[in-house]
Amino acid sequence: MPFVSIRILEGHSQQRKNEISRRVTEAISEIAELPREAIWVVIEDVPGSDWFVGGTPVREPKGA
């Protein structure tokens, strides 16, 4: 059973996360020839203060 873990910067709508999950599930189902029910997808929202690019947080924590 494939398990897909996706980390994205917080702030995306539930509708967008649903679509990401649907598309990832469909792609794996098609390529691996598995039923969709066998594929698990977890989307984790990461705060901008915990997401770093080049050693700098994408968003400064409030009160910093």
Phi, psi of 20 (to 5 degrees): -60, -50
Residue 17 — φ and ψ, nearest 5°? Answer: -65, -40
* Residue 35 is a catalytic residue: no
Determine which one of 2, 35, 47, 57 is catalytic.
2
Is the separation of the CB atoms in 41 and 25 below 8 Å? yes
Catalytic residues: 2
